[in-house]
Amino acid sequence: MPFPISKFLSYVPWNLHEPRKGEFDFGAGNNEFSKVLNLREFLQIAQEEDLLVILRPGPYICSEWEFGGLPSWLLRYPDIKVRTSDLVFTGHVKTYFDQLLAQVVDLQFTKGGSIIAVQIENEYGSFGNFDEIKDREYLAFIRDNYVENGIEELLLTCDSPALVGDTGSLPGYLMTANFDNNPEAQFDRLLELQPDKPLMAMEFWAGWFDYWFGTHTGGLNPENFSKHLSTIFSYNASVNFYMFHGGSTFGFMNGANKIPVFPSYLSDVSSYDYGAPLSEAGDYTEKYNVTKELIALDNEVQTFTPEQPPLNPKIAYPAVQIQEYLTYVQLINQIPLDLVTEIQTVTNMEALDINNGNGQSYGLTVYRKKLDLAPTAELQIVGHIRDVAMVLVDGEQKTQKPQGSGALLGFGFWTISNSTFTIEGAAAGLNTLDVVVENWGRVNFGGPAYFEQQKGLFEGPILVDGVELSDLTAIPLELKSNWIQGYA
């Protein structure tokens, strides 16, 4: 049984390494995540720890990560078709890969490094309907780009073959399987498709992730986890655990899913505990013990394992009394003026003319208009909100904090089209109306339509008492750490 746990998958998020078009960050930048973007050093540390690496450069990585790792500035191209052989998209992929692969080409196993394989895209068979033929020219483009940049290790694809067959693969390259149950069906299908090649569970889903307004599930229970892992070993298949250690996405890097029923859009929480063998807190779980026991049964070479370190103690921290705070108005007043833009009508955050032509990627956008409001005024947002909106008048919030999933049936959420809200109690005279829209995370999985992920307001105008508001001010609340640290 080859390397059951001595290898790991390493995703490479394009949106962090090229946060703005043509600006690359592999650890030396001044961006939110720069301190953890030294991919080369990361892979070298892996080798020091005797770990072998399966590299997943993307450009799409899924992983419940914002936009599946694609940078938001791609959405400034109105007709771009991501994850296809669209020339605009592949042109940017090539520019990025030329920079990225130069960082790792000499860290391949055949050159004395830790990289034993490189994945071509990710779950491409699930991009669209399961039974349709995918854009293999695009997959070939990625393969060719790897080769042109000196990648010589094993190239492979991953999918759930029992569902999608070989639609997300390239002829002649190793196909692997992703699943959380029924490994027999996945592996039997792989054996039909490639009888002369080894079996591998590229992603054995040890648990599952959670959504806002949902409940914690944890995915597989220990009994089913044990049963399916035993089956994997019975096929003499290699296995990667997804995830083996729970974690967190931090910041605005959570992804989301679209579904065909209400509420249609499900935003992932930042916690990624995942029901993994090692919890987000680093605790051993029953799944961890099961994994140890099953590996010991199938591993002919009994390896030395050190004594497990003790679990970290847990503590409930006392409540903290807030001594000082900044008001909403004070925060808005500290937005740099070069980020505040005048727009004729509502505009998605990515299209705002800021950040050297890259638009706004994450956070909240304030759509502001100064006008005389009646004591009772009817506000309507035409189309859908992407994703959640609050209404303030003269700095006072008029909408209420959501109380449970029932709030999704009302104003302020993505679920309702052409939703209305009654504004009451506006002071006489000129008022400042703010519609604050928060991006809850771009979709990371699904078909082509799911990747049309512009955020903010853009489907239709804002109406007050039936009159369209024009000549608005757009104020980005990007909440970048260097800006937060500069609060006064």
Query: 169 phi and psi, to 5 degrees?
Result: -120, 175
Let me know: does 218 contact 252? Beta carbons within 8 Å.
no
H/E run at residue 288: helix 286-298
User: How many contiguous H segments (helices) and E segments (strands) does the chain have?
Assistant: 10, 22
Which one of 203, 350, 438, 478 is the catalytic residue?
203
Distance between CA atoms of residues 254 and 238, nearest Å: 29
SS3 394: coil
Classify residue 231 by burial, with Cβ atoms within 10 Å: 0-12, 13-18, 19+: middle
Let me know: does 386 contact 438? Beta carbons within 8 Å.
no
Which one of 123, 350, 438, 478 is the catalytic residue?
123
Helix extents (H) in 34-75: 39-48
Residue type, 229: L
- Residue 184 a catalytic site member: no
Q: Which residue has the tokens 């450009």?
A: 59
Quickly count: other Cβ atoms within 10 Å of residue 285's Cβ. 20
Let me know: does 116 contact 54? Beta carbons within 8 Å.
yes
The per-residue DSSP string of 407-420 comes to: GGGSTTBTT-SSEE
* Residue 338 DSSP one-character state: G
Let me know: does 229 contact 180? Beta carbons within 8 Å.
no
Distance between CA atoms of residues 247 and 278, nearest Å: 9
How, if at all, do strands 467-468 and 472-477 pair? unpaired
Which residues 6+ apart lie within 8 Å of 87 measured at CB? none
Tokens of 253: 């890097």
Query: 293 phi and psi, to 5 degrees?
Result: -65, -45
- Residue 123 a catalytic site member: yes
- In 361-410, where do the E strands start and end? 364-372, 376-381, 388-393, 396-397
Classify residue 485 by burial, with Cβ atoms within 10 Å: 0-12, 13-18, 19+: exposed
Instruction: List 245's β-bridge partners, or say none.
Output: 278
Tokens of 461: 């105008």
Name the residue among 3, 5, 1 with its Cα closest to residue 277. Answer: 5
Distance between CA atoms of residues 139 and 85, nearest Å: 8
Quickly count: other Cβ atoms within 10 Å of residue 196's Cβ. 5
Active site residues: 123, 203
